[in-house]
Chains A and B, each alone.
Chain A
Amino acid sequence: MSTSTQRLGPNGKPVRPFVMPDTLSGKLKVWRFIIYRRIVQFTVLLLFLGSVHWGWSVFDKPLLVGTLSSSEFLGVIPMADPFAVLQMFFTGHVLNAEVVIGALIILGFYAILGGRTFCSWVCPINPVTDLAAWLRKRLGFGPACNLNRNTRMIVLALALVLSAITGVAAFEWISPISMLHRELIFGIGLGLTAVLGIFLFDLFIVRNGWCGHICPLGAFYSVVGRVAGLLQVHFDGPTCTHCGECAKVCPEPQVLNLKKAAATGRVEPGDCTNCGRCIPVCPEDTLHFDWRPLLKNKTQTTEATDRRAA
């Protein structure tokens, strides 16, 4: 590359592209968050499977019984999908305290971890849509139609309105997420056709179509994350050359508004799923995971200076 064509970033440094390392260890380092996510997704599924089918238990207490909709950890700690419980609340039915407490526990958990952390790290649909996105990129499909990313907010609102009208939790009754997870644990049925539908939709019709545009559960967690997400991707503004490598791999690129990120010192919370794809591809090491400095009193600028000095 000749120096005459070398672009300069807003910070005056040359814009370098991301280069995939040749060595396996280098590649693994780039893929590390994908590997971690698959491990976590698989482990969660395995814990459910093992507890239901192979009697996994600790101190004679079943480890994790139920599904992602609602479960019990070690026979005492209830957990429940807060969005499912919210829909059931909209049907006008009074639920037992156990499931409500469970929903609050999970809500608190993802409020701390960043709302949509569920999407990339736990949701069983994520590997499916990730595969579709990867295949779509390899096959080079362009968009077949445009869909507003806020569609999911309308779907979220519809889920609640329809729950009130039909008298059953409207999304839970058609949710491919619950279907896939439930059928993986309790026996395969036609739910997998819904998953195939999502795969084909993501592959041929809209890039990141399901997770990025339609899924109301993702929309629900993005609202949670906007309010309270504590784990976020830190953005070290002065080092950024606006090379755009992060946006290329991001499934929700609207969160990478670099101007805003430079001002706030973090990638915009809410839609960000904390998948960590952007972190290893950044040639300038501008991005990394960080706890939102709720407990620290340090300002973003001093933090950035500290980092540069280090």
Chain B
Amino acid sequence: MGGAVAPPMQRNMTDKSRRDFLQKSAQGMAVAATGGLIWSFLVRQEAKANPAAIRPPGALVEADFNATCIKCGQCVRACPYDTLDLATAGQDIPIGTPYFFPRDIPCYMCPDIPCKVACPTGALRADLSDIADSRMGLAVIDMENCLSWQGLRCEVCHRECPLRDKAIGIETHPRQISKHAMFVPIVHSDACTGCGICEKACPTEKAAIRVVPAELVQGKIGEHYRLGWKIDTPITQEFKPADDRPAAQDDAAPGEAPGLDYLNEGSF
């Protein structure tokens, strides 16, 4: 097709309308982008995980939980102990999401987990079948204010713990120069569900045992520490887990010198 040139007047008009259009759309996009930035700032601010929010049993990790919780409150209604509440706007817990304060009402660990059953979205994991496998948080003890750690015979948390001796154990601890030992509670993270019954039961003015999200307080030793008295894998000079090491070479030719590690070999 040949280039059909528009008369100058018309071309000016189309130029003007095109410029108008481009300007308008640029402005529109700028407004939308600004609005989007403010909006996403608001949302990110709101969705920032509150370090202290304790979630119902089976809750996904905070970011996934925030994405999948539809804020319907069916878990709140399903809880027979009125443990759960939905965060209101302005609270420092992500808006509309369920949480509980164990010191007020803890989770009583219903074996049928009605809150999880009620959750329509899977924000509370549907595959959680044993309430003892839930990890709502981790109980931590403030030794400076724990009565047992002062040498008194309290141990209320230990006796109240629904997973007694698994989640909270009692150990003896020397009491300075006295010949009487202290009986101190110790929390074991491999069993503690974070239900908060201990926090509720703690008789001190402010609870000396509290449930907090595990990631806030729990450290990690690291793979390279080999606690030989605790693990059953053989200690070697290579700081690798046993299954990472290459298979032992048995096919060394007879008469050949053994490896440098021969001193460690049992046959020496």
Contacts and interface: CB of A to CB of B under 8 A. Distances in A.
A70 B124 CA distance: 15
Contacts of A99: 70, 120-122
B63 interface: yes
Interface stretch (B87-95, B179-187, B227-235, B246-254): B87-95
A88 B46 contact: no
B72 A70 contact: yes
A96 B122 contact: yes
Contacts of A52: 73, 76-77
A174 B42 contact: yes
Interface string A42-73: 00000000011000000000100111011110
Q: Kindly name the residue among A66, A84, A187 whose own CB sees the greatest number of chain B CB atoms within 10 A.
A: A66
A255 interface: no
A173 B64 contact: no
A70 B36 contact: no
Contacts of B39: 158, 162, 170, 174
Nearest to B98: A186
Interface in B58-110: 63-64, 66-68, 70-74, 76-78, 85-91, 94-96
B88 to A, nearest CB: 2
B73 A172 contact: no
A8 interface: no
Interface in A122-156: 154-155
B56 to A, nearest CB: 14
B145 interface: no
Contact of A158 (B35, B96, B118, B120): B35
Interface of A: 51-52, 62, 65-67, 69-72, 78, 80-81, 84-85, 88, 91-96, 98-99, 102, 154-155, 158, 161-162, 165-170, 172-174, 178-179, 182-183, 185-191, 193-194
6 contacts: A69-B72, A162-B39, A166-B47, A167-B67, A170-B39, A179-B95
